[in-house]
Structure formats: structure tokens, C-alpha cells
Amino acid sequence: MDQNELAKTARMALPFFASGTVVHGFGRGSKELGVPTANLADEVVDNLPDQLTCGVYCGFASVNHGTVYPMCLSIGWNPYYKNEKRTMETHIMHSFDKDFYGEILKIVIVEYIRPMLDFKSLEELKLAISSDIRISTEKLLEEKCAEFSKHKFSVHLSSTLIDSCRTESSSLSLSNNISLGRVFTASLQS
């Protein structure tokens, strides 16, 4: 699939809401890359829709129903590090006083940035991450994305894992089949 098709496929799944416990990752975000990330548990990653292809996305995040902040997110195997499992690594664009492992992270992914790429050097990867954060910041200021910064997703999403959310006219249809082991659908007014 070419890059335009990847982008089109990924955007079909957006906006996408997810929630889960923050778990320990590989420990590279802050230490090696200078970009701290919050990693969601495997069960969240394993239940992503197929349309949410590997790549870099942006949106908004909230920890424990707190303030909503912009975020940049990587979904994939991170080829530079040759990961053997797919991850969701969320860089929240805010400086936190402490780690929040074990806390609930709620995100809404609103825009696709680029496909997952391999890099020849760590410096090349760092430059790409810096560019991803800059592009994410710009995109999140656009009206179609910015509206989600005011969305009450942190209130509407329960502490259970939400697998997807599609905008249908003025309501949001939520489908949850991860934590309940069955499909649960509700409509929320946006």
C-alpha cells in the first residue's frame, strides 16, 4: 500500500478513542530520545482496528480524568529498535512532575501524521520525532482537530477500555468489546 492509501485507510478509523492503564515500556522515550512516552497495555494495542495502521498520529490525552493535553502518538513496531511487539507510545505535550505508571490514560486520536519509518541513526530518529511533534502541534490547532480539545471524552469514557468511536452526524457512537467481552453500544451527544 502506498503512503496516500495508508493515510486514507488510517483516517477512516478517526477519531479513535482509547483508554487503558499506563505500563512500563522499553525505557527509551525519556532516557534515549528525550521524549517521555506513556505506553498503553498490550490488550489495548492488540484490539486496535485494522484501519489504524502503523504510524504517527496526533490527538489529545488525559491522565486520570485530569486536564486534556495535546499529544503525539506512535503505533507500531518501531523498526529502528527492531521491536518484536506492536506498541502504542503516547507523548503528552506537557511536563508532568512525576511518572504515572498504573494510572488511566485516555486518548482521542484525531489525525494521521505519517507512516512508520526506519532510520539509519538515532539522530535521524530524534529529528523525525521533533518534526512529528511540530506537525502535531500545527494540526491540533486546526479547527477540525481543535474541537476535540474541548470534547468531554475524559468524562464520557468510562474506566473500561473503549475500542472505537465514529462520528455520526451530531452524536458519537461508542463500541466497547474489549473489557466487557461483548459489544456494548451507546450514543453520546457531542
Render each residue's pLDDT in the chain as its tens digit; 190 residues: 788 888 898 898 899 999 999 998 877 776 778 889 999 999 999 989 988 989 999 999 999 988 899 999 999 988 788 888 888 999 999 999 988 999 999 999 999 999 999 999 999 999 999 999 999 999 999 988 888 887 766 444 433 323 333 332 223 333 322 222 222 222 222 2
Return the pLDDT at 178.
Answer: 26
The CATH architecture annotation of domain 3-162 reads Beta Barrel (2.40)
Cβ-based neighbours of 85, under 8 Å, separated by 6 or more: 42, 45, 77
Return the pLDDT at 114.
Answer: 94
**Catalytic option among 32, 89, 138, 142:** 89
Return the pLDDT at 153.
Answer: 65
Length of the chain equals 190
Q: Is-contact 87 68, C-beta < 8 A?
A: no
| φ, ψ dihedrals at 26, nearest 5° | -85, -10
Cell of 156: 464520557
Return the pLDDT at 119.
Answer: 93
Cell of 83: 521491536
> Where are the chain's structural domains?
3-162
pTM for this model (two decimals): 0.78
CA dihedral 109, 113, 118, 123 (to 10 degrees): -100
Active site residue 103: no
Tell me how far apart the alpha carbons of residues 133 and 94 are, in angstroms, rounded to a whole number. Answer: 12
Residues pairing with 111 in the sheet: 58
Are β-strands 16-23 and 38-40 bridged in parallel, bridged antiparallel, or unpaired? antiparallel
Q: Is-contact 178 44, C-beta < 8 A?
A: yes
Cβ-based neighbours of 174, under 8 Å, separated by 6 or more: 17, 156, 162, 164, 165, 184, 185, 186, 187, 188
